[in-house]
Amino acid sequence: MSSKKLFLCLAVFLCSLTLSAQDKSPAKFGNVAAKDFGVNGYSIDSNANAVVLADIGYSSIEGNNKSFFSLVFKHFKRIHILNKNGFDAANVSLSLYSSGDAEEQLDKIKAVTYNLENGKVTETKLDVKSAIFKDKISREWVVKKFTFPNVKEGSIIEYEYTLRSDFLHNLQPWAFQGAYPVLWSEYNLTLPEFMGYAFLTKGYRKYDINERKSRSETFFIAENRGTGATERGQLNANVTDYRWVIKNVPPLKEESFTSALRNHLTRIEFQLSEFRQPLTYRNFTESWGKVMTRLLESESFGEKLLRDNGWLGDITHPLVEGVKDPLEKTRRIYNYVRDNFTCTSHSDVWLDQTLRNIVKTKSGTVAEINVLLAAMLKREDIEADPVILSTRSHGVTYELYPLLSQYNYVVVQALVDGKPVYLDASEPRLGFGHLPTRCYNGHARVVNKTAQPLYFLSDTLMEKKVTTVFLINDDKGNIVGSFNQVPGYFESFGLRETVKEKGVDQLISTIKKGFIQEVKVDKFGLDSLDKKEELIGLHYDFDLLDEKEDILYFNPMLTEAMKENPFKSAERMYPVEMPFGFDETYNLQMEVPAGYTVEELPKSMVVKMNEAGEGVFEYRISQSGSGISFRSRIQITRASFQPDEYEMLREFFNLVVKKQAEQIVFKKKS
């Protein structure tokens, strides 16, 4: 062989070794050396408080001693804590699924804190018998928690455990991304051919390694017969080994106008779809109709709604006595439930109380209160059904897969003269026919035999606000004014909440702080405060108490200027999800301050965010004699923007903030 060929073969061999090393998981439990502590910062994120060095999961299916199969999930994670702001990474919560008396089993837990002391690596192990705590957070989920001991700035922590589950529908999902940067995130899955799962992927990062290999495996199954005898069997089957790796994953940081970060995490989830031969064939991909039938027959939901609730007539009949209009009947029953019942939790779809007990205690979860509302409406022959949905902070649902675990909220659809009215009686200051913004999260389902899909989209909401300000000179030469504002419905709702919780005086104090200069507020008023369906009218008079300088700088926006851009990051990897579109108009009429002339006016401008005009900013100002007219308007006609539109949106709001900060310059007459 020539030296040239020998060199080429050697180069290919070395290259294959390098690639193999790059594809290999970079960490093994317990293998921590002094050199691992030498890194004070990582190029992936120089400002990180902690960095996940390796996060590796393995899921497989094994035969069990119950004549069937179990899921086995093994998880290893190593984290370098760089400073005290990263100490949260030392708090670990592990979720376990439960049903009745059965629960997923967590075992073989190991957790160690490593510190570098006098050039040597020291270990502090978690006492798994005394330092792990258990909380039940819902009817189906418990959490086991622990905190690493002896954590300091610079510590390296790692843990591993095995989770065994007989709930084959609960194949562990995997998130490749989280609150901290991840240098190596890897998930391995082994699936036998006799079990089918649908793969549901999310996120914007591509896999660095995406492997799939086939082989055969023998599964051993046993059955304990209770007399000391055990029957054993085995099954040979083809299996597929999947391996997904993503390297150097940046953290997903919460930014303004985000519904739920988990919607945008790069992750993979699984849905059990079928058993195949040699198992008895079974299809688990249920239709929405079947799921709703089961929900309506459930003791914890529909059974309470559909049973004989004749006794509710003692409550509903007096409310609607003499009323024939079905819309007015619906309104009266809704108002009664809203005004007389207290919501104890805004995240639940199941009922733990009977309707009688809810009425007795005058309290319940959002599901309990709104199912009661639906039952009361039905009692008065109003066609009403519960609607299940997932709130914005809870995450979006998979429309094609009827997974009830994805839903956490219940509202009511009432059909009045064939038209739907959507109601949520869990909010004491919410008007008839309105839903909170948290409900506008896309797909929802009516709980009846037709299982009608609904879509509550934030793009369908538009908040309009109009502000009018007049400024004149009083007989003493001081600037006095009147402020009138009609905010949109959801801002009106927020004002009602603020007044209820903090009082009017606190609201006035907040308004005063919004002025740059010292101000006196008088004749403060809130119109329609108790009329929950209407917009609030906010108005007050005010005196500007500035000293008379030779040069006066005056921002015509007063308290209403957008002071900072809500989109601060240079780039964004997931959509902007505002709760609604908005149209805000601000009008000002003012006299030039007594004894002054206008030295400089800002320039007028009108800017469109894009060719479609989905964002428009108007800034118009003019002087006529001693009067100044000013108008500012910002209009955004949709609520959601994709990542590739982020720069456009950010630059638009940069312009708005900069322009609304401009001031009129007045100069004292000589």
Three-state DSSP string of 133-168: EEEECCCCEEEEEEECCCCCCCCEEEEEEEEEECCC
Assess contact for 559 and 586: CB atoms under 8 A. Answer: no
pLDDT higher than threshold 90 for residue 516? no
Q: What b/e readout covers 269-293, taking b as 16+ CB neighbours within 10 angstroms?
A: bbbbbebeeeeeeeeeeeebeebbb
Distance between CA atoms of residues 287 and 450, nearest Å = 11
Q: Which two tokens stand for residue 558?
A: 């007063």
What's the pLDDT tens digit per position in 358-400? 999 999 999 999 999 999 999 999 999 999 999 999 999 989 8
pLDDT bucket at 309, cuts 50 / 70 / 90: confident
The confidence score (pLDDT) of residue 617 equals 98
CB 567 within 8 A of CB 636: no
pLDDT band at 285 (very low <50, low <70, confident <90, very high): confident
- In the chain, ranges of CATH 2.60.40.3140 domains: 49-283
DSSP for residue 307: S
Distances (CA, A) of 561 to 30, 398, 583, 598, 634: 56, 40, 14, 21, 11
CATH class given for the domain over 49-283: mainly beta
pLDDT at 8 over 50: no
**In the chain, where does the domain assigned CATH 2.60.120.1130 lie?**
462-668
Query: Starting at the edge strand that comes first in sequence, how are the strands of the sheet with 519-527 ordered?
Result: 519-527, 537-544, 479-486, 462-473, 581-591, 627-636, 615-624, 605-608
Question: In the chain, which residues fall in CATH 3.10.620.30?
Answer: 288-456
For residue 21, pLDDT over 70 is answered with no
Q: Is the pLDDT of residue 622 over 90?
A: yes
Cα 120 to chain centroid distance, Å, stands at 43
pLDDT at 226: 61
Q: Using 50, 70 and 90 to split pLDDT, how confident is the model at 252?
A: confident
Kindly report the pTM of this predicted structure.
Answer: 0.86
Question: Does position 277 have pLDDT exceeding 50, yes or no?
Answer: yes
Q: Which amino acid type is present at position 526?
A: L
- The top-level CATH class assigned to 288-456 is alpha beta
Following CA atoms 422, 426, 432, 437 in sequence, which dihedral angle do they give, to the nearest 10 degrees?
-70
Average pLDDT, the chain: 92
The region of weakest confidence among 39-53, 67-81, 314-328 is 39-53
**From the centroid of its chain, how far is CA 103?**
28
The answer, yes or no, to whether residue 20 has pLDDT greater than 50, is no
Q: How confident is the model at residue 227 (pLDDT cuts 50, 70, 90)?
A: low
Given phi > 0 = left and psi -120 to 50 = alpha, else beta, which region is 453?
beta
pLDDT band at 304 (very low <50, low <70, confident <90, very high): confident
Tokens 């897969």 map to which residue?
Answer: 401
State residue 518 phi and psi, 5-degree precision: -65, 140
Q: Is the pLDDT of residue 254 over 70?
A: yes
- Domain 462-668 of CATH type 2.60.120.10: no
Return the minimum-mean-pLDDT range out of 12-21, 425-434, 484-493.
12-21
Q: What is the pLDDT of residue 445?
A: 97
Q: So what's the pLDDT on residue 229?
A: 63
Residue 11 pLDDT grade (very low, low, confident, very high; cuts 50, 70, 90)? very low
Whether 315 has a pLDDT exceeding 70, the answer reads yes
